[in-house]
Structure formats: structure tokens, C-alpha cells
Structure 1
Amino acid sequence: MIAHNYDHLKQLCGYRASGLYCSKSYEDVFQDTVLLVSQDEKAATLTNEKDLINYFCYRFRMIEFQAINDNKQLKEIPYADYLQTQKIPEEE
């Protein structure tokens, strides 16, 4: 069903030609979603094409959200003022 609806899924997922998150383009995120959904046990139980399309779009948004957050985390610079040092217990 994924192969049959491939072009339709690209349009529904808000497919974009550009944009990089953690060295991943939207094409990479889309392909990751194809792999994840094709191996997902829940997706295998879906018999209705509409349900599978909705599930695919849901998983795409989850993978895209994770890629965006990973990208934000890489850009943050931990300054020494913000880091807490662990207290070393004093020995008697």
C-alpha cells in the first residue's frame, strides 16, 4: 500500500525540496518513515488504505519532530555558568 500511494504520501506529508536537520533532508526523513512504517507491526495490521495513510503521516511528523529537536540540541552551547558541578563529599 505504501508503494501504491508513494506520490500521494509525499504530498500529504508536506514534502519540501529543501531543509536540513542534523544532516537529514526532508527526503531522508521521508525515507526513514517509509522504512519504519514498512517494518512496523501496527501498520501491518491496518487493512484500510485511509488508516495506513493517516498512520504514515503521523509517523512522518514524529520523525520530523525528532530530527528538528536533535538539530536544536546540537546547536546549543553549554556555557560553564549553566552547568552544575557535582559536590564532592568532604572526608573527615
Structure 2
Amino acid sequence: MSNPDDEKKYWLDDPKNHDKVFYGVLVIAVLVSIPDVLSLLNIVYHKHVEFEFENIFEFYSLYGLVCYVGLVLIAKKLRVLLKRDEDYYD
């Protein structure tokens, strides 16, 4: 039988590396969110809107949320139409 000490050690087996991964993901998340924060403050760019309702605070975020929820609700209704019987392939 093999000895437990003979097992191959992987990089994530060391608990110190768990912290490195966590802080690495945290730094990447902060770096990715910097442009979003700056655009909220209108520092990076100024929007030239076509319609007045686009000036609503966080309009595009709210629009995306409403569309996403709408897609989920439509998919739930569509599932009833397209669903197969449980023993369809039997």
C-alpha cells in the first residue's frame, strides 16, 4: 500500500495558498469595478442620450434587470409548452 506521505502535493493543498487565491480574486474584482464606480460619478465619460428617460439614475442597470426577469418568466411559461413526459425516452 502507498504511504500517505508519498501522495502528490498540489498547490491548493497548502492553506496559505487559499488566502492568496482569495485576495487575488478580491483585487481583480476591485480593479474590474473601478470603471463602473467612476462612470457613476460621471468622471470617465459623459453620456449623450437619445431619449430623456435615459437620464434616469442607473437606467441601463434597471433595464437589464427588468429584461432578465422577463426572460426568466417567459422561460418558465415556455417550459410548460416544450416539456416532455418523464418517460418520453423509455
- TM (norm. structure 1) is 0.33
Q: Give the structure with the larger strand fraction.
A: 1
Q: Give the structure with the larger helix fraction.
A: 2
